[in-house]
C-alpha cells in the first residue's frame, strides 16, 4: 500500500510540474512575441528578457516544488515515528522528544525552508536539542515554556544567536484539547514566509499532539501500576 501511495504521489508531482512547465513556456512565448511587437528592434532587450524570465521562472518553480513535496512527504516520513510508538520503541516522552527533534531537522531540508536545529520540550522534562553538537542557542528555555503556555499559535522568535551563526527561531506550542503538552522550536537559516509557518502549525495539529498524547497516557498508566 505504501509503495502505491508513493507512486501515486510521484505521478501527481510530475504532472503538476509538467503543467507548470507548459504554462511557463506559453507565457515565455507570449512575452517574446509581445516584446517584438512593442519594440521594433528589441536586440539586447530580448537577451535581458530571457535572463529575467529564466530567473523568475526558476525561483517560482522551486517555491511550487517545495509546496508540493512537503505535504506529500510528511505523512510518509512521520509514519516511522507512529510505528515506533505503536511498537513500543518510543516508550516515553524523552524518546518522543528525541525522535521529533531529529525528524524536524532531517525532513525539513528544502529551498528556503531548511531547519538547521530543533528543540523539543515535553511538560516538565528537560528540553532536547538536535543536533546535540550545535553551538549553544542563546535562548531562555523557561521563557519558551511560558510563551507556549499562553497561546496555541506559532510564535516567531526573530533572530537567534547560535555561536557565530545567526538563525531564525519559531516556537510551536503543543496542545491537545485544553492541555498543554510542551513545545517544539525550530531554527532556520532563512526567515520563513507565512505559508511555511502555517505548515509547521498544521504539522503540530495533525501529527504531533495526538501521538504525543498516546505516549504521555502510556507513561501515566505505567506510573499507576
| 95 shares a domain with 48 | no
Query: CA-to-CA distance for 138 and 48, rounded, in angstroms?
Result: 45
Closest CA relative to residue 127, chosen from 106, 115, 143: 143
Which residue blocks in the chain are alpha helix, DSSP H?
2-38, 44-87, 93-107, 141-150, 194-203, 209-224
137 found inside a domain: yes
| 95 shares a domain with 66 | no
Query: CA-to-CA distance for 49 and 52, rounded, in angstroms?
Result: 5
The pLDDT assigned to 5 comes to: 47
84 found inside a domain: no
The pLDDT assigned to 59 comes to: 76
- Which residue shows C-alpha cell 516511522? 80
Task: For residue 69, report the phi and psi dihedrals to the nearest 5 degrees.
Answer: -75, -35
Query: CA-to-CA distance for 180 and 145, rounded, in angstroms?
Result: 10
| 42 shares a domain with 143 | no
The pLDDT assigned to 107 comes to: 95
| 205 shares a domain with 102 | yes
The pLDDT assigned to 1 comes to: 45
| 22 shares a domain with 118 | no
| 23 shares a domain with 57 | yes
User: Among the three residues 21, 43, 71, which one is the final residue of a domain in this structure?
Assistant: 71
| 141 shares a domain with 44 | no
Closest CA relative to residue 142, chosen from 159, 119, 161, 164: 119
25 found inside a domain: yes
| 143 shares a domain with 191 | yes
209-211-212 Cα angle (round to 5)? 65
The pLDDT assigned to 117 comes to: 93
Cis before residue 215, ω within 30 degrees of 0?
no
| 113 shares a domain with 65 | no
| 213 shares a domain with 140 | yes
The pLDDT assigned to 165 comes to: 84
80 found inside a domain: no
pLDDT tens per residue, the chain (225 residues)?
444 445 545 565 566 667 767 777 777 777 767 766 676 666 667 777 778 877 887 777 777 777 777 877 898 899 999 999 999 999 999 999 999 999 999 999 988 899 999 999 999 888 999 998 776 676 788 889 999 999 999 999 999 888 788 899 999 999 999 999 999 999 999 999 999 999 999 999 999 999 999 999 988 887 665
H/E stretch holding 131 reads: none
59 found inside a domain: yes
The pLDDT assigned to 20 comes to: 66
| 124 shares a domain with 200 | yes
77 found inside a domain: no
85 found inside a domain: no
The pLDDT assigned to 48 comes to: 77
The pLDDT assigned to 151 comes to: 95
DSSP tag of 137: B
Q: What is the domain range of residue 39?
A: 2-71
| 111 shares a domain with 59 | no
- Which residue shows C-alpha cell 507570449? 30
Amino acid at each position: 500500500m505504501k509503495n502505491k501511495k508513493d507512486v501515486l504521489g510521484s505521478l501527481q508531482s510530475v504532472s503538476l510540474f509538467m503543467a507548470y512547465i507548459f504554462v511557463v513556456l506559453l507565457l515565455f512565448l507570449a512575452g517574446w512575441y509581445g516584446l517584438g511587437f512593442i519594440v521594433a528592434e528589441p536586440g539586447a532587450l530580448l537577451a535581458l528578457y530571457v535572463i529575467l524570465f529564466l530567473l523568475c521562472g526558476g525561483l517560482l518553480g522551486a517555491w511550487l516544488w517545495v509546496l508540493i513535496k512537503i505535504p506529500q512527504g510528511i505523512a510518509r516520513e512521520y509514519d516511522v515515528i507512529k510505528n515506533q510508538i505503536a511498537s513500543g520503541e518510543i516508550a516515553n516522552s524523552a524518546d518522543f522528544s528525541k525522535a521529533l527533534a531529529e525528524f524536524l531537522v532531517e525532513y525539513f531540508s528544502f529551498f528556503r525552508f531548511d531547519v538547521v536545529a530543533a528543540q523539543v520540550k515535553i511538560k516538565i522534562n528537560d528540553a532536547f536539542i538536535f543536533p546535540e553538537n550545535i553551538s549553544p542557542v542563546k535562548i531562555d528555555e523557561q521563557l519558551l515554556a511560558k510563551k507556549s503556555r499562553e497561546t496555541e499559535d506559532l510564535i516567531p522568535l526573530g533572530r537567534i544567536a547560535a555561536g557565530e551563526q545567526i538563525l531564525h527561531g519559531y516556537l510551536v506550542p503543543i496542545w491537545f484539547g485544553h492541555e498543554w503538552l510542551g513545545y517544539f522550536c525550530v531554527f532556520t537559516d532563512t526567515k520563513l514566509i507565512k505559508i511555511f509557518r502555517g505548515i509547521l502549525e498544521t504539522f503540530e495539529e495533525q501529527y504531533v499532539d495526538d501521538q504525543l498524547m498516546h505516549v504521555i497516557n502510556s507513561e501515566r498508566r505505567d506510573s499507576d501500576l
